[in-house]
Amino acid sequence: MKIGIALITFAGLLNTGFAQNEKPVKLDLGGTATDYDNDLLTPEFHRKRREELRKLLPNNSVAVFFSSPVRNRSNDVNYEYHQDPDFYYLTGLTEPDAALVIFKSQNAYGEIITNEIIFVQPRDTSDEKWTGKRLGARGAKEKLGIETAFDNTSFADFEMHYEKFDKVYAASIPEDVRDDKLDRGDLASMVRYFKRDVDSLGKKLNKFQLEIYMAELRQTKTNEEIYLLRSAVGITCEGINQLMKTLRPGMKEYQGEAIVEYIFHNHGAEHSGYPSILGSGENGCVLHYETNRKTVKSNEMIVCDVGAEYHGYTADVTRTLPVDGKFSPEEKAIYNLVLDAQTQAIALCKPGAKFSDPHNKANEIIAKGLMQMGIIAKPGDVKLYFPHGTSHYLGLDVHDAGLYGDLAAGQVITVEPGIYIPEGSRCDKKWWNIGVRIEDDILITTTGYENLSECVPRNADEIERIMAEKGKLEEFYDNK
């Protein structure tokens, strides 16, 4: 079967994005009261994102996106599916084995001609009995609002005529997908046929510029996205607050994880945005510790780095807590140094500042403080105990796409300095196994910043006060 491209003219592409003069508020995202979620991003949101991408694309170009592969966990059990963030951003589709093609061209009269085509899994009642209902081509048009849709089995025979375009852009192409369903339209076959069709294009094919275009779009959040981020951050704060009230010596790290993630799911989050980190004692000095199997002890602190994922958007908040509810003098000294560094770094989060400004300030404050404590001898040694960056973008990915240039209104970043002094470090033993990280999610506004995660305390005295309260889940752990 040969299918040609039917180009359609659009008049007046809309200008969308974060309203620079408008404070983000909780939005009515549409939908009706049903048994399922009614605050998902709408087809109109995704359509506007595709329009914004077309504005960035040069005339007579085409951009191709593929969905994420299905990942196998073991034997015949796959991991729960997670869509490629760029693909979801542009379509709203949460199914695998899909491809999106966006065109931009001009005719002889200078009119902008655009078109979009999505290839999706065909309806299959036998498969759907096991894995749930699929949209199919008709559903993709009706539910996602995408102009043209076909079953993915049509991809191999679809005449894209890539050679007629000046530029062909491709997002990151999956290279490790299983290719054991030849010619069925699955992701592996679509990737294979795409490579066949563009093999002779040479410099016309660009695999990097599209990532830059998507980073430019995704680094500035719309009001709809900020609403979802607020929801994710608020759920995360409640999880940490409940951990503060329930944490006690003798618990397991995984029980702390269970408290936090119970709150996540109980408040509507679909997932954790990343594996929860609950590292006590020496584990608090492991930056991405994920095992969470140790018994927490009264003379230790626990680093709780967690984030709820709500409708695709993830929070990323860290608090460091004294297990027995009281900071020791050494713990409080390190904690307050990190807090001072974070507070001064957050103060620099404003439009026009360099992305690196918060990190440079935090690094300066921590280096000076560690020298005063006698933990390091010179500023350059700060990397021994503060080895990571202070900020990253936040959104559909926990380390979200962005260009790392100047800060601007609508961007959401983290500010997360830390100090980690593992056993055996070249300093007084009284500092060993003290690990502290404090992280907040910061929205850049037109006049400065808003700390979205201020709903969980970070002042040491306030943390001690909260930890003295009785938590909602305390009785459950008393009777475990």
> In DSSP terms, which residues pair with 86 in a beta bridge?
none
470 CB-contact burial (10 Å; exposed 0-12 / middle 13-18 / buried 19+): exposed
Q: CA quadruple 373, 379, 381, 384: dihedral positive or negative? A: positive
Structure tokens of 268?
């509507």
- Known active-site residue 392: yes
**In angstroms, rounded to a whole number, what is the distance separating the alpha carbons of residues 301 and 438?**
13
Structure tokens of 188?
């592996």
Options 47, 218, 248, 392, the catalytic residue: 392
Structure tokens of 344?
């001064």
- Known active-site residue 388: yes
- Known active-site residue 420: yes
**In angstroms, rounded to a whole number, what is the distance separating the alpha carbons of residues 17 and 122?**
33
- Known active-site residue 359: no
From 99, 98, 101, select the one nearest 117 (Cα to Cα): 101
Options 138, 161, 196, 399, the catalytic residue: 399
Options 116, 224, 238, 305, the catalytic residue: 305
Contacts of residue 160, Cβ cutoff 8 Å, sequence gap at least 6: 5, 62, 101, 197
- Known active-site residue 440: no
Options 316, 331, 400, 440, the catalytic residue: 316
Options 416, 440, 441, 449, the catalytic residue: 416
**In angstroms, rounded to a whole number, what is the distance separating the alpha carbons of residues 3 and 43?**
26
From 311, 422, 327, 325, select the one nearest 41 (Cα to Cα): 311
Options 39, 197, 397, 439, the catalytic residue: 439
From 261, 256, 258, 310, select the one nearest 281 (Cα to Cα): 256
- Known active-site residue 305: yes
- Known active-site residue 416: yes
Options 28, 35, 36, 76, the catalytic residue: 76
Which are the catalytic amino acids?
Answer: 76, 288, 305, 316, 388, 392, 399, 416, 420, 437, 439
